[in-house]
Structure 1
Amino acid sequence: MTTRLKIPSAEDSTEIDAVITYEGKHTGEGAPAIIISHPYGPLGGSIVNNVVQSLHKYFSSKNYVTASFNFRGAGRSGGRTSWTGMPERQDYIAVMNHLFKSNAYPTISSIIICGYSFGSMIAGSITPPADIPSRYLLISYPLSVMWALTSFHSTFFKEQVMQRMDSANDATSGPMLFIMGDRDQFTGLGALKRWIADKATERTTLAVVPDGDHFWFGMEETLIQIIDSWLHQ
């Protein structure tokens, strides 16, 4: 079953347009969940995106409670895109809180915090409830252009990810998968490798896709295969 609804942002009650799918039977038992966030809105990013839609279809077929949503200023959501990324964090948190509090879905037993491009920057800064097993799935992380997406608040977002990669920070660290094409137009592979290597632990994986660029057109199935393998490790 798929539901489309408006969720008030945790920032300022801006209406956030969300699509939530659960194909399993609502038996009262728990189910895993994933929240998928999209690329930068002013450049055309929304839930109507090849990567977002491919992930939504895959995870809902695996009986995840699957949520995709439009950040403020994108698609059917209200408001405007911010200059800092901070309000968008609250948009993401609002969707996450909705999944945990609503009786319309099974109890959330675990969660994947997921984002693509700009959405991966936001997702990497999100902390789920401490008692819920979590993973992070970050696709085409925009490391080299974060300064432009956040009005020079990129240090905050980088630090959030580094805390999750730090083995000493067990409370907020779940397994983390970065997926990057070796022809990404916005972040050099070498820069990302060096950044991850600075804090990476056994919980951190970087999957590099030969001939993959930032947009993944025609390579959506490759992404799904990598993700499926990671989930079964």
Structure 2
Amino acid sequence: MESSMVETSDGVKIHVRLFKPSDPAADNLAVVLVHPYSVLGGFQGLLRGIATGLAKKGYYAVTFDMRGAGRSSGRASLTGFAEINDVVAVSKWVTETLSPDGIVLVGSSAGAPIAGSAVDKIEQVVGYVSLGYPFGLTASILFGRHHEAILRSEKSKLFVMGTKDGFTSVKQLRNKLKSAAGQVETHLLEGVGHFQMEGPAYDAQMVDLIANFIQSLHK
């Protein structure tokens, strides 16, 4: 694991960690992981288990602290719009540092709308995975303005959610995805809650789902 500092277009210093595979996969894709809501204590360490698992499967995995979290400078925003710059800057750094054939953006919880808004701002992104996208009515007060960007993107998408997610019901998820462009997959975890799915007990399952999604991009 290597650490770096990356500067955004608006001058924020972002702390990045790169998890390198010992035996890189043939498809040479990098995975950039976007952590849960900084305002509620989200930081890149929450995604360490998934990043480590992806590196074991042969993928370069990158985690980072969004502005105002961990060792990054700046201040976290309530709606996550400033943080789109962080995702774009880190993805640009990944492209320049690793020269991957493509990037898959993975967003966890509030990181999902932020990553979704960045997808079409980054040419190298070939796919998007949402782990517990907060589509529900209350969460939409903060993140509703992010929805349109990922729903209209033509890039391949996977939405993973527990059926007991407290922020989004299965019905709300399905209603939202009806209007989504491009290839859209969903994977529901029966009886699993939002924060439960974020926990380390589900890391291995998330790694498998992300890896299977990456492989599906070549079909």
Tell me if structure 2 keeps the 8 A contact 1:109–1:133: no
8 A Cα contact 2:67 2:86, kept in partner: yes
Deviation at residue 214 of structure 1 after TM alignment: 0.8
**What is the letter of the counterpart of residue 149 of structure 1?**
L
Residue 213 of structure 1 is matched in structure 2 by 193
Rounded to whole Å, the distance in 2 between the matches of 1:74 and 1:133 is: 24
Read off the aligned partner of 2:129 and give its amino acid letter: L
Cα deviation code 1:171-194 (max 9, x no counterpart): xx2211000000111111211111
Structure 2 residues without counterparts, runs of 5 or longer? none
**1:196 matches 2:166:** no
- What count of residue pairs does the alignment treat as equivalent? 210
Equivalent pair of 2:88/2:122 in contact (CA under 8 Å): no
Alignment partner of 1:159 is 2:154:
no
Q: Which residue of 1 aligns with 2:142?
A: 149
Q: How far, CA to CA, are the matches of 2:19 and 2:165 in structure 1?
A: 30
Runs of 4 or more off by more than 6 Å in structure 1?
none
Decide whether aligned partners of structure 1 residues 16 and 176 sit closer, same or farther in structure 2, where only a CA change above 3 A counts.
Answer: same
C-alpha change, 1:17 and 1:35, in structure 2 (3 Å) is same
Aligned to 1:43: 40
Q: Over residues 14-53 of structure 1, what are the superposed CA-to-partner deviations in whole Å (9 max), with x where a residue is unaligned? A: 1111101222479xx982101001110121211121xx12
Partner residue of 1:23?
21
Structure with higher Rg: it is 1
The counterpart of 2:116, out of the listed 96, 115, 124, is 124
Q: Is the 8 A contact 1:84 1:149 kept in 2?
A: yes
| Aligned equivalents of 2:208, 2:93: Cα separation in 1 | 29
* TM-score (structure 2 length as normaliser): 0.87
Normalised TM-score (structure 1): 0.82
> Is the Cα contact below 8 Å between 1:212 and 1:219 reproduced in 2?
no
Q: State the identity %.
A: 25
Give the aligned CA root-mean-square deviation in angstroms: 2.1
Cα offsets for 1:115-160 (capped at 9, x unmatched):
1011111111112543x4601111100112443435xxx23x1110
